[in-house]
Chains A and B, each alone.
Chain A
């Protein structure tokens, strides 16, 4: 078995590359997001039984993320077909990636796999345009981590960019 981190990768770490299905016939990897901030939202499963869940919240906030030139992807161990049905049902306008085969491999690489349950934890990573993790956070399983931490991280990245020599 490969060596996986036992806790979520932290700020300053280069994000592990991945190649996951975004739809039943479309793959995406880290390089597809080069030059943009990327919000990776790992979550346990599609079809959580609440009406205002984490993915629905991000769906509403998309325009704000776009103002920071940031895109968001959701990642769970559900299959691409399950994601497609879920996204259609919830009217989601951002990609859901299927960490399906080998199951949970990307979650494991990012240190956010829950081995007992066989699910990804509720974890957030904000990557800069060069694929370096700038912020990460793991939420208790049943708690919606919201978006305020993501926005604070994006805000900080923007300030650093403004301050940096060109």
Chain B
């Protein structure tokens, strides 16, 4: 049906700079490219949680940033906030908070989220102010572009772009390889 010969593949393999949940030996690896201000990513977030719950040790899940900052003005700084939390070993907690608070992503609100998570606030604020994690977000974005990420969310299942739906049933079916 499609004129595309094959679905694009992930061009940059997972490495030590990625945020990853699950064992390296898991038979299935899912990589999400997402944007914290994108409503579709917000809708997909509980699905990714349910998928991890259902798959347990059989799934390795990773998240990379793909902020569409021209249409989602808070998305870039939200990604920086996730990385700033990551620098304090709290990436996934902030990741959840951001997706659960997609309309509360202003600088003040990001600081409040960091405070609620008990992060070292001075360091977190300095990371945001100095855009300390911007290069990493740009690297994620570029790796996405080169891998065929056209919008968000985009999932790769074992390095192949998943072009089907991302409701739980579709995702569970797609990971049964």
Residues of A within 8 A of B141 (CB): 60
Count of chain B residues near A, Cβ 8 A: 22
Contact at A52–B4, with CB atoms within 8 Å?
no
B12 interface residue per 8 A CB criterion: no
> Which residues 110-162 in B have Cβ within 8 Å of A in the complex?
141-142, 145-152
Contact of A139 among B3, B147, B152 (CB under 8 A): B3
Contact at B3–A146, with CB atoms within 8 Å?
no
- Nearest CB in chain B to that of A93: its residue: B70
Contact at B71–A57, with CB atoms within 8 Å?
no
Query: How far apart sit A143 and B8, CA to CA, in the bound complex (Å)?
Result: 13
Count of chain A residues near B, Cβ 8 A: 25
C-beta contact mask, A81-94 vs B, less than 8 Å → 1, else 0? 00000000011110
Contact at B145–A56, with CB atoms within 8 Å?
no
Contact at A51–B2, with CB atoms within 8 Å?
no
Contact of B147 among A51, A59, A144, A148 (CB under 8 A): A148
Query: How far apart sit A51 and B68, CA to CA, in the bound complex (Å)?
Result: 10
Dominant secondary structure of chain B at its interface with chain A: loop
Contact at B4–A143, with CB atoms within 8 Å?
yes
Contact at B148–A146, with CB atoms within 8 Å?
yes
Contact at A51–B39, with CB atoms within 8 Å?
yes
Contact at A52–B142, with CB atoms within 8 Å?
no
Which of B40, B68, B70, B147 gathers most chain A CB within 10 Å?
B70
Contact of B151 among A92, A93, A140, A144 (CB under 8 A): A144
Query: How far apart sit A62 and B61, CA to CA, in the bound complex (Å)?
Result: 30
Please give the residue numbers on chain B whose beta carbons come within 8 Å of chain A beta carbons, in ascending order: 2-4, 8, 35, 38-40, 68-71, 141-142, 145-152
